[in-house]
Structure 1
Amino acid sequence: MYNTLNASVHSITSYYSLQNKYLGNFMRSLQNIQYEATRPTQQVDDRSILNNFLGVQYIFSKINRDNSQKVPANYFLDRTSRKITDVNGQSSHDQQTRRYRTNLAFPLVYFQNQVFTPQHYRQLTASQKERALAEGVLVSQKASQNLPKKNLKDVTSQVIEVPIKIVSSRGNRISSQDLIKEDTNERYQILVAPTSKDFSAKDRQELLKKLANSEIHLEVTNIKYHPFSLQEQLALEKRNNYYAQTNGFMDQNLLALRYKYFHYHILQGSPDPSYTLAFETRNGTEEIVQRKQSSTSFYQVIKNGTVNLGSFSELPSSITFTPSKLGHYDFKLKLVALPLGENSSYQKQVQAIQRHSLQNFKVTPTGFSGNITINHAGILTSSIPYSPAWQVKVDNHKQTVLKTNQAFVGVKLKPGKHRVQFSYTIPGLKAGFYLSGLGLILLAISALISLFNRRRKSV
């Protein structure tokens, strides 16, 4: 049902059988709302820095599809297929594939001379951790010794919080930490940078100017949802239906109305803890989804999620927010902007990373190799998933393989010119080879003993 291996357009969707727990931990740390145990990355919610970090140079998009306008920042239209016009003249049914390209994709293997320690890294939010990928590299406390530490202020200053206010479609202001939805038709608006006595119109204009060409994230944390009981839901729907002033037969007959809602909730298994939090802008709609337990391997308890609303040349004035179910919601909500436009510090950092890529890069059947010349000590890092089965040699001397940025292979380097060789050995391969050989020897001995016994009996 969820298999996309045969999709006509390539994606960066990964499969758990091809990855490992480290990549999953990395995606959960950055609160990728598309994370699933069987598919850790998916499209990483089209987050620009994550796409750049993973080396995604091209993005394919089909028109008239959900979120087709939500293209990561700094990806420009490169090529298009021939447009197929709908035979009935409905432009919403036209078909065309568009290719977007970026010049900011990280190299597969590159050098960073500044590091983060786990102690400091844990202080960052999900958006700040994503932004930190261009600032430095996360390594263990031991590996960070004698290396320059990145100042956290350099990261936190690049992720700017935007003031917000949430109002109901009924006109009253609400709190995300005490949201009680009793009407299925009720919607909410997240007002972006609303003016107030503490935030003037002048302050708002200055903020909008500062955040032009930014990617906007909604950081949703500490999510809790408590559904109403079955009796409470039936009573609320009966009340809401009464106020709707509809005239259908089912709405006039209270007994039939109660049966209709009772039948629906029994089939749905109400009350259950599943829900959807939908956030809509002109770029499209993104959702944080808590599945039912019947989803088996796709089930997980959702407590946090960072929603990428897309890249905006100018901040949207509001965001539509719709919880899918009646009940009590409690979560913390923060809106942040990541300036990624032209002449931003991010673009300059990526260009520096590209200049420090591994040169003469070659892929072998069991690994990769290349050369690099550096003036300072630091870390050669990558976006190649880490495994204890990796081995590395620097100038033909065996070195320790590091786990960098929580999930990827790297190695510590001293200043100078180096030849680096990474090789991968399937875990247990040698042991399996020896055990198989031992098994063949024992089988041969058993066959010889059996043959000897048969000859002996025949004599």
Structure 2
Amino acid sequence: MLGIIMINMAANAMYYYYPFGMDAMDGSIPYGTAEEEYQQVLADGQDYLPDRGMDPYRVGVTSQDNHVRNQFLYLDVMGLNSYLSVTNGNITDFARTIETAGFQVIQPLRNGVDDRRIANHLLGVDYIITEAENESFLPFGYEVLEELKNNQNEDYILAETPNAYPFAYAIGNALPEQAFLELNAVEREAAFVENVILEDSVFQTLPLEKSFVESPVKELDYEVMDDGSEPVSLPDSDIRIQKEHTEFTLILEEPEELIDHEWFIRFEGLDYHPLDESPWLRQSTNYRLSVTDGQQVKSIYQSDKYSFSSYFHREHMLFNMGHVAETDDIDQVQITVDRPGVYSLDDISVYALPVSAQEDERIADEKNERALDIDLFSNDRIEGNVDADANEILVTSIPFSAGWSATVNGEQRDALKTNVGFVGVSLDEGENSIELTYRTPYLLLGLALSLLGIILAFVPKKIGQN
């Protein structure tokens, strides 16, 4: 055992401090500077945020802000990003369901939810803070409010939208989760606008208006050419990439269909193997797929299968390519694969989702009219009032947890899981007085068992004394 421990210590020392062992310490920041970097991650943009009292909102970033993780906690700002142990599994389910590009199990909503407009609205992201060079990645409807500089004189921006949804609001249209999951990822995101998504068992028992979802999403035709300008036929289970940064070109047949739309490219049935695969060698299986339309570059990373904390198999990749205005000239995209290897690909889909500033404003106004009027807002208790036109659901953007309980007009109600990962509660027609309370699951039981353990610790001693 002593020999194993010594070998382990030597191996760690070589890994962290020696160039032939990756010299991991060389990538670390100097001691004592971490707090300063956390403080400056938003370039003091948090100081420009308004204090809206009982009208809470969230702050986001863009797809280019991979370095922002738990800093929002340090700054005491309501943000989306979470990392490792502070991640809620229900939020992971939500992000996986709409196939966010930056998704990882340990960081589900990182990178600004890939600049997805509706997802940011749904989560109540009123403001986005990012570096000035990332302005083109702001979701449609977010406008620059302030220009900032950090302590290294680097340019940042604070952007705002008037169309984010309120923290909690009443809604009557409901869609069962099974029907929701039959939609593609872009249609699922669009379904959140006019519906609340409920678990099938809950949907069957509540007297709600049942929704019929007519998808606004269009699927566009295209052709893919390889780097030799030869057509690529799909599905193809054996695409051999011989060199780094190999490019393909996706050409849209009717690019005018993109005008006044957000558009998305989805790769389905992805898999990767090294060119000369060997069962005896540790071979890297990570790769990065990038897409650019000439205006911005989006990329998604498939982590190595030996990466214990971040690996999962990305069978699908969905890229949000942003909003296309009438002045934009987009008819093709370049697809780049960074690593040689054998790739499988079943299909590529191109989706277009209509965008209208007037429609976004109308929807936001409707939801604000139905918003919960909050009287008390704290980490573990929320109180407020809301009027319901009929039997409806109060939808919140609070991550769901078994610790939440609810009362409506003094009557105990179950806290429901809504929109795949968030807290909701059923409402009665008319005025509803709401109390949402959080208590850590099994907290009282844990305290009781701890107390019992302390008492029992003294029992043998007393018996011995007797």
Shorter-chain TM-score tier: 0.7 to 0.9
1:238-277: per-residue Cα shift (whole Å, max 9, x none)? xxxxxxxxxxxxxxxxxxxxxxxxxxxx9x954x432221
2:345 corresponds to which letter in structure 1?
D
**Alignment correspondent of 2:344:** 329
The answer to whether 1:119 aligns with 2:174 is no
Tell me, in whole angstroms, the C-alpha distance in 2 between the residues paired with 1:276 and 1:176: 20
Structure 1 residue runs of 4 or more that deviate by more than 6 Å after TM superposition: 1-4
Q: CA deviation at 1:352?
A: 1.2
The answer to whether 1:168 aligns with 2:168 is no
**Alignment correspondent of 1:75:** 142
Tell me, in whole angstroms, the C-alpha distance in 1 between the residues paired with 2:462 and 2:81: 53
1:171 corresponds to which letter in structure 2?
S
Query: Where do 5+ consecutive residues of structure 2 fail to align?
Result: 1-26, 29-33, 43-71, 73-78
The answer to whether 1:51 aligns with 2:147 is no
**Alignment correspondent of 2:212:** 151
**Which has the greater radius of gyration?**
1
1:41-440 matched pairs, under 5 angstroms:
41-43=109-111, 44-64=113-133, 67-81=134-148, 95-145=154-204, 146-153=207-214, 156=215, 158-178=216-236, 179-184=239-244, 186-192=246-252, 194=253, 205=256, 207-208=257-258, 211-212=259-260, 214-229=261-276, 269-270=282-283, 272-314=284-326, 316-326=330-340, 327-344=342-359, 346-440=360-454
Q: CA deviation at 1:81?
A: 2.0
Tell me, in whole angstroms, the C-alpha distance in 1 between the residues paired with 2:350 and 2:380: 44
1:406 corresponds to which letter in structure 2?
V
**Alignment correspondent of 1:18:** 86
Tell me, in whole angstroms, the C-alpha distance in 1 between the residues paired with 2:221 and 2:427: 43
Change over 3 Å in CA distance of 1:78–1:169 after alignment to 2: same
2:171 corresponds to which letter in structure 1?
Q
Q: Check whether the contact 1:74–1:341 (CA below 8 A) recurs between aligned residues.
A: no
Q: CA deviation at 1:297?
A: 0.5
TM-score normalised by structure 2 residue count: 0.77
Q: CA deviation at 1:350?
A: 2.8
1:219-245: per-residue Cα shift (whole Å, max 9, x none)? 2222123432269xxxxxxxxxxxxxx
Tell me, in whole angstroms, the C-alpha distance in 2 between the residues paired with 1:103 and 1:141: 33
Q: Check whether the contact 1:377–1:413 (CA below 8 A) recurs between aligned residues.
A: yes
Q: Check whether the contact 2:268–2:315 (CA below 8 A) recurs between aligned residues.
A: yes
Tell me, in whole angstroms, the C-alpha distance in 1 between the residues paired with 2:323 and 2:40: 26
Q: CA deviation at 1:68?
A: 4.5
**Alignment correspondent of 1:249:** none
Tell me, in whole angstroms, the C-alpha distance in 2 between the residues paired with 1:127 and 1:162: 13
Q: Check whether the contact 1:73–1:341 (CA below 8 A) recurs between aligned residues.
A: no
1:96-139: per-residue Cα shift (whole Å, max 9, x none)? 11111001111111111000012211211111111111110111
2:321 corresponds to which letter in structure 1?
L
Tell me, in whole angstroms, the C-alpha distance in 1 between the residues paired with 2:349 and 2:40: 35
1:398-447: per-residue Cα shift (whole Å, max 9, x none)? 01111101111111112110101011111111112212222333344445
2:291 corresponds to which letter in structure 1?
F
**Aligned pair count?**
389
Structure 1, 176-185 or 134-143: larger mean CA deviation: 176-185
Change over 3 Å in CA distance of 1:185–1:58 after alignment to 2: closer
Tell me, in whole angstroms, the C-alpha distance in 1 between the residues paired with 2:351 and 2:83: 30
**Alignment correspondent of 1:242:** none
From 32, 38, 41, the counterpart of 1:8: 41
Change over 3 Å in CA distance of 1:84–1:408 after alignment to 2: closer
User: Match of 2:308, SS?
Assistant: helix
Tell me, in whole angstroms, the C-alpha distance in 1 between the residues paired with 2:136 and 2:324: 11
Change over 3 Å in CA distance of 1:287–1:440 after alignment to 2: same
Q: Check whether the contact 1:71–1:311 (CA below 8 A) recurs between aligned residues.
A: no
2:143 corresponds to which letter in structure 1?
F
The answer to whether 1:37 aligns with 2:98 is no
Tell me, in whole angstroms, the C-alpha distance in 1 between the residues paired with 2:366 and 2:400: 24
Tell me, in whole angstroms, the C-alpha distance in 1 between the residues paired with 2:380 and 2:337: 49
Tell me, in whole angstroms, the C-alpha distance in 1 between the residues paired with 2:130 and 2:289: 24
User: Match of 1:45, SS?
Assistant: helix
Q: Check whether the contact 1:116–1:136 (CA below 8 A) recurs between aligned residues.
A: yes
User: Match of 1:296, SS?
Assistant: coil
1:297 corresponds to which letter in structure 2?
S
Tell me, in whole angstroms, the C-alpha distance in 2 between the residues paired with 1:365 and 1:37: 24
2:110 corresponds to which letter in structure 1?
Q
Q: CA deviation at 1:328?
A: 3.1
User: Match of 1:438, SS?
Assistant: helix
Tell me, in whole angstroms, the C-alpha distance in 1 between the residues paired with 2:459 and 2:288: 64
Structure 1, 363-372 or 406-415: larger mean CA deviation: 363-372
Q: Check whether the contact 2:245–2:339 (CA below 8 A) recurs between aligned residues.
A: no
Q: Check whether the contact 2:115–2:137 (CA below 8 A) recurs between aligned residues.
A: yes
**Structure with bigger RCO (C-alpha 8 Å, 6+ apart):** 1
Change over 3 Å in CA distance of 1:328–1:8 after alignment to 2: closer
Q: Check whether the contact 2:245–2:336 (CA below 8 A) recurs between aligned residues.
A: no
2:351 corresponds to which letter in structure 1?
V
